[in-house]
Structure 1
Amino acid sequence: MKIYIYFIVIYISTILSAKAQKEHSDIHYQKAFNNLKNMLANKSNANLKNAVFHVENAYFDNLLDYQSFEEEIEGLTILCQGFVKSNSLQYTDKDKVKIEKFASVFKILTDTLFIRLDSLQDYHLPFGYDFEDFFGDTDWTKGFVSKLLATKKGNCHSLPYLYKILCDELGAEAHLALAPNHLYIKHHSKKTGWYNTELTSATFPIDAWLMVSGYVSLEAIQNAVYMDTIGTHRAVALCVVDLGQGYTKKYPDNDGTFILQCCELALKHFPTCINAMLLKAETLFAQHKKLSQSKGKDNPETKAKFAEMNKTYQQIYQSGYRQMPKQMYANWLLDLKENKDKYINKKVAVFNK
């Protein structure tokens, strides 16, 4: 409740501030960039929870309260620990302790839980998928973990982030994975091998579901663009891309310099990050357009920018990336929801009811 009230206050404050200001200051973004850069410089310092907070706090002009953010996550972590102690998992292999942690996070995020403490009874409601503006075109905070904690509604960005953060807190690292316009979870167990966890529909889809759309090419898989495991270090690099995207949303008239810094830092530590490549290409395109208008197409600077832009687009194409239309993405998610039996991995361990 505390973070909900705080989120509403800073959300309104940010909107009013954005409308009032004529010139922007990137001091909060530069601070967040430096924090993420320091994390990436030493893999042992990588922490997704802190990285996500830095990104979202920059967008909110440094008004997001870390203590409230951490307390919400700590409360969910304790709930996961309690659930493991009081429930039995249908799993007997040697890595049972780790799999129990994964399963408890999935249960906490996707199901209603009744909690009994002595004579007191309460219930915990699941987190749901926010189908309204799920790309954040109108409201960029739709993909924020802080918004998810405040409203219990998230998307394919915030839900996997929160899932991994909770697994990290429990001492069982989960892996993020990318698909077109999408983020999900990959796990490994001794019994099942690698398996997928999908938070938008609360299911465990097989790889065929990820490929059925036709927008995941064999080249993209071979080049580790899609369906590859993303550990904590590269997840922080992904947050650097989020930082650049948020900067674009907050300051649409920027000159692209800061965004390209974010892209280059992310690609340095995550060379196959398609999100960084796409953001870089879009930014170079915008810079080239402005140069063409101000200096002309034949200007040496304009030509150099075009060459850089063209090189980036070629790298994207060679990676195996294919653009997935937004409506196709929505249909893709709906297909999993309505045709679960076709795509679910039925070998994944679940808690006894």
Structure 2
Amino acid sequence: MSKPFLYLFLFFNIFCATAQKQEKLFEQSFALLHSMIDNDNNFSFKKAVFSVENAYLDDKLDTLYINNQIRLLSTLCNSLIENRFLAYVENDKEKVNKWASVYQVMCDTIPLNINGKLYKYEPFGYDFNDVFGHQNRENLFVSKLLETHKGNCRSLPYLYKILCEELGTSAHLALAPNHIYIKHQNKKNGWYNTELTSGIFPIDAWIMASGFVHLDAITNGVYMKALNNKESIALLLIDLADNYNAKFPNNDGVFVLQCCELAIQNYPHFANALILKAETIKKQIKAETDNEKANKMFADLENQYKFIHKIGYRNMPEEMYLNWLVSLKTERNKFENKKLNTFNKN
């Protein structure tokens, strides 16, 4: 065997071994998410989120740094709970106090006195650079948010939910067009929204103001639904599938469909999962050489798109999404929940 051919052979073997290892990480993450769906006692949103990110990062996620950062943020939350007064008197105050502390850590500047020296804690902010992760998937990651204190409508609510669970309470993710936010329910105010991208508690009318929320989408739980644990894992399954597509753009669609099917099984009207499934099947149809099989797949695909439209999903252009997101600040008086005083501090 000539040296050039030998080098090429060795390089090919190394490339294949690396690809197999990378795919194995995605399979392991899928297995973990599946186990959390099968057994709620295994549920940990933090473990789920970082398993998805670690798969994309080729097992190079700095978990020691991540856990230390979350521990520091949780300690700050507990300090706020112990040392500040919350103007809320209902018997679910302990739970609400935890939500308030996480909200402050995420959205407020906090003065700190450490060994007699005054410091200023800076909150997390919104990063308008590559909002949808088109240039770099890592811009969507919680690990990136923890490192830079800049995030987006995915990483910010994900971190909020993680911190709530670290404090022993819950937080419900909710969806709007191209967007994720938080829904809580307390005894005084009922259900209310927490928007981490701007640190505001918007009324539902803000969601409707996007112009892309059909009434059927609300009725069918496509948007504005407080997601349970299994539905939250469904979101991560599609994150995992999207990351897999980014890592292996020429894949055969089998793993992606596996993620989609499990997500849809647990969140039947999850539009992103339904769309990704349809788009993946469309790619498979183009590669199919059996015309009869391709025609059957195409007929099924048409029915899938009809179903997506029937449940109320409407596509929102990215530029319009960004304008809608900014409107919450520019029209704050119009959309802010003025009755909500849960987090007022005296």
Shared fold by TM > 0.5?
yes
| Corresponding residue to 2:63 among 66, 76, 79 | 66
TM-score (ref. length: structure 1): 0.90
Alignment of 1:46-61 (within 5 A): 46-61=43-58
Residues 88-97 or 174-183, more deviating: 88-97
1:87 aligns with 2:79: no
| Corresponding residue to 2:317 among 288, 308, 325 | 325
Per the alignment, in what secondary structure is the counterpart of residue 187 of structure 1? strand
Partner of 1:309: 301
Structure 1 letter corresponding to 2:323 = N
CA distance in 1, matches of 2:191, 2:68: 32
Partner of 2:11: none
| Corresponding residue to 2:42 among 40, 45, 55 | 45
Partner of 2:9: none
CA distance in 1, matches of 2:219, 2:101: 32
Contact kept? 1:284, 1:308, Cα under 8 Å: no
| Corresponding residue to 1:233 among 230, 239, 262 | 230
CA distance in 2, matches of 1:45, 1:311: 36
Contact kept? 1:176, 1:183, Cα under 8 Å: yes
| Offset from partner CA, 1:256-275 (integer Å, 9 cap, x none) | 11100000011112222112
CA distance 1:250–1:123, shift in 2 (3 Å) = same
1:75 aligns with 2:72: yes
Structure 2 letter corresponding to 1:309 = L
Structure 1 letter corresponding to 2:47 = N
CA distance in 2, matches of 1:21, 1:310: 38
CA distance in 2, matches of 1:50, 1:234: 16
Aligned residues: 329
Partner of 2:19: 24
Alignment of 1:281-300 (within 5 A): 281-291=278-288, 295=289, 299-300=291-292
Partner of 1:200: 197
CA distance in 2, matches of 1:159, 1:240: 18
1:134 aligns with 2:131: yes
CA distance in 2, matches of 1:229, 1:102: 16
Per the alignment, in what secondary structure is the counterpart of residue 62 of structure 1? coil
Partner of 1:350: 343
Structure 2 letter corresponding to 1:56 = E
CA distance in 1, matches of 2:34, 2:100: 32
Deviating beyond 4 angstroms after TM superposition, the runs of 4 or more aligned structure 1 residues are 20-23
How far is the alpha carbon of 1:317 from its aligned partner? 0.8
CA distance in 1, matches of 2:323, 2:89: 37
CA distance in 2, matches of 1:331, 1:180: 13
How far is the alpha carbon of 1:100 from its aligned partner? 0.9
1:335 aligns with 2:327: yes
Partner of 2:7: none
CA distance in 1, matches of 2:80, 2:283: 50
| Corresponding residue to 2:221 among 214, 221, 224 | 224
**Which runs of no fewer than 5 residues in structure 1 stay unpaired?**
1-19
Per the alignment, in what secondary structure is the counterpart of residue 136 of structure 1? coil
Per the alignment, in what secondary structure is the counterpart of residue 19 of structure 2? coil
Partner of 1:258: 255
TM-score (ref. length: structure 2): 0.92
How far is the alpha carbon of 1:21 from its aligned partner? 5.2
| Corresponding residue to 1:36 among 11, 22, 33 | 33
**Percentage identity across aligned positions?**
47
CA distance in 2, matches of 1:307, 1:64: 42
Residues 122-131 or 202-211, more deviating: 122-131
CA distance in 1, matches of 2:47, 2:59: 14
CA distance in 2, matches of 1:93, 1:71: 34
Partner of 1:170: 167
Structure 2 letter corresponding to 1:24 = A
Contact kept? 1:184, 1:197, Cα under 8 Å: yes
CA distance in 1, matches of 2:345, 2:39: 41
Partner of 1:13: none
How far is the alpha carbon of 1:144 from its aligned partner? 0.4
CA distance in 2, matches of 1:167, 1:106: 10
**Which runs of no fewer than 5 residues in structure 2 stay unpaired?**
1-13
